[in-house]
Amino acid sequence: MFKICFWIHDIPNNFEPDDIMPDTMTLTNSNSYMLLTPPDHYLAYGSVKIPFRKTVGNADKIINAFKKYVDRLYDIVNQQIAEGNIHKNFQDIVNAKI
């Protein structure tokens, strides 16, 4: 139903939970879309992009950017439900979880 992939850059590979976070990190998104009912009956799925901009900053800024993304995702899912665009393969999941 979703294809979402985030990357946090500028964190060392050997980072441990007790380590201090770097002052500056970068949050990027390589995939961000939701599968929907296709606009044309010849297609298997349609899709809608969920917007996200690269964010550079400290841990608080990264967390706030991710929270905004999740809020935006929730709004888009509710909008697509209201418009009846949820693909039949995902209707049971959406109705159970939203």
Q: Measuring CA to CA, which residue among 69, 54, 57, 46 is closest to residue 23?
A: 57
Residue 60 CA to residue 52 CA, distance in Å, equals 17
Segment among 5-9, 50-54, 94-98 with least mean pLDDT = 94-98
pLDDT, average across residues 59-73: 95
Give the global pTM: 0.82
Asked whether residue 27 carries a pLDDT value surpassing 90, the answer given is yes
pLDDT, average across residues 76-83: 90
Tokens of 54: 């690269």
pLDDT band at 73 (very low <50, low <70, confident <90, very high): very high
